Structure 1
Amino acid sequence: MTALQDLKFGQWFRGADVDGDGFITQQDVRRMSERYINARATPPDPQTIRRLTQEMDQFWSHAIAPMDQDGDGKVDLREMTEGFKRVLTDRTLYPQQIAPVTNCFFDLVDLNGDGKIDQSEFQQMFDSVAAVPGNDCAAVFAALDVDNSGGLDRDEFHQALEEFFYGNDPDAPANHIFGRVAV
């Protein structure tokens, strides 16, 4: 784990601590998905909502809850950072550890369901949900759109999240997907 990863995880923690009490709880994890659902002009189909809820519950159970070192039902920044240091050590485990939740979020961010996240969808979701300012959203989006197609396909979205959680490149645009990280 590097100083860069500590910064990125701290940025993610601030967004995941939905109620701002300094801890991530199962309720915070559920509220993360509710923010994406509520940011949409029209709600997704019930199956997508159910799938997201199930994946987020599994994310809590398998990734976040085990980081709770003192057994109080909540995870503070130190516990989360130490937990990520133990768990997110092998990029080849991304498909099991993070990809299922990423797929659900992709489906929610792809507001028109065309299989791509365009810049306006990206900006709407990350500005309203993760409080990423518009200028930062535009710059991050442009950098993540590796094929310059004007949209992030599922593979590009996965590459960005994989880089965010496992990567250590200070110049990677994915470092800023949840808000600008001072590198």
Structure 2
Amino acid sequence: MAATAILNKSHRVFDAIDEDGNGVIAADDFERIAERLIRSFDETSPAAAKVRGTYTKCWQRLAELADSDGDGQVTRQEFETVFAGAQQNRFMQVIDEALDAEFDLADTDGDGGLDRDEVARMLTAYGVPQSELNQAIAGLDQDGDGRVSRAEYRTAMREYYLSDDPAAPSTPIFGRVRG
């Protein structure tokens, strides 16, 4: 069952990244999801450029780890393998950079924390359905104070990527995990 939780979360993330729905992930999928996130906030901020850069790094690292045939695309199966080994293959190092960039972009008032609106805008850009938004926000706001600190964001997201516990508080971050 533990392996199933990781597998199901990998499917949810794959579907969110596969922007064009063609069943594979490529560099342009990362570009489109970065632009969708950036459009939800300030497209001209330095944080927007940082998001673009870190998403490019994420794609490059993913391709390095998963694109076994060198065709410039990552299949669902290839992605599952990288997702399941994210800690061991150091994919999380690149993800951590992206998390910081996302946080900086979403922190529109620069107060060092994300309020409910900022979190909701970010999660909506990732395709979390409106009906699942409250649960997703709660997955990030793990202390329930109505704000998400940088440390809380990083901890919750790392738990999402690395935890094999299907009942972990972070599980609904990207919407309900089906499986």
Same fold (TM over 0.5): yes
What is the rounded CA distance, in whole Å, between the counterparts of 1:97 and 1:104 in structure 2?
11
Counterpart mapping for 1:11-22 below 5 A = 11-22=12-23
1:66 corresponds in structure 2 to 65
Do the aligned partners of residues 83 and 123 (structure 1) sit closer, same or farther apart at CA in structure 2, a change above 3 Å counting? Answer: same
2:40 corresponds in structure 1 to 39
What is the rounded CA distance, in whole Å, between the counterparts of 1:90 and 1:71 in structure 2?
22
1:48 corresponds in structure 2 to 47
2:169 corresponds in structure 1 to 173
Do the aligned partners of residues 55 and 76 (structure 1) sit closer, same or farther apart at CA in structure 2, a change above 3 Å counting? Answer: same
* Among 149, 153, 161, the residue aligned to 2:145: 149
Shift of 1:110: 2.0
Query: SS of 1:180's equivalent?
Result: coil
Shift of 1:95: 6.2
1:5 corresponds in structure 2 to 6
* Among 102, 107, 118, the residue aligned to 1:105: 102
- Structure with the larger helix share: 1
1:134 corresponds in structure 2 to 130
What is the rounded CA distance, in whole Å, between the counterparts of 2:3 and 2:9 in structure 1?
10
What is the rounded CA distance, in whole Å, between the counterparts of 1:155 and 1:90 in structure 2?
22
What is the rounded CA distance, in whole Å, between the counterparts of 1:75 and 1:94 in structure 2?
14
RMSD: 2.1
| Residue ranges of structure 1 left out of the alignment (5+ in a row) | none
- Kept in 1, the 8 Å contact 2:135–2:173? The answer is no
Please identify runs of 4+ aligned residues in structure 1 that moved more than 3 A.
none
1:88 corresponds in structure 2 to 86
What is the rounded CA distance, in whole Å, between the counterparts of 2:151 and 2:117 in structure 1?
19
Query: SS of 1:88's equivalent?
Result: coil
Query: SS of 1:98's equivalent?
Result: helix
User: Is 1:27 equivalent to 2:25 in the alignment?
Assistant: no
What is the rounded CA distance, in whole Å, between the counterparts of 1:39 and 1:49 in structure 2?
10
| Counterpart residue identity of residue 88, structure 1 | A
- Kept in 2, the 8 Å contact 1:119–1:138? The answer is no
| Counterpart residue identity of residue 102, structure 1 | L
| Counterpart residue identity of residue 117, structure 1 | L
Shift of 1:143: 4.2
- Kept in 2, the 8 Å contact 1:64–1:80? The answer is no
- Kept in 1, the 8 Å contact 2:26–2:74? The answer is yes
Shift of 1:49: 2.4
Normalised by the length of structure 1, the TM-score is 0.87
- Kept in 2, the 8 Å contact 1:65–1:73? The answer is no
What is the rounded CA distance, in whole Å, between the counterparts of 1:152 and 1:67 in structure 2?
32
Query: SS of 1:117's equivalent?
Result: strand
Identity of aligned residues (%): 30
- Kept in 1, the 8 Å contact 2:136–2:175? The answer is no
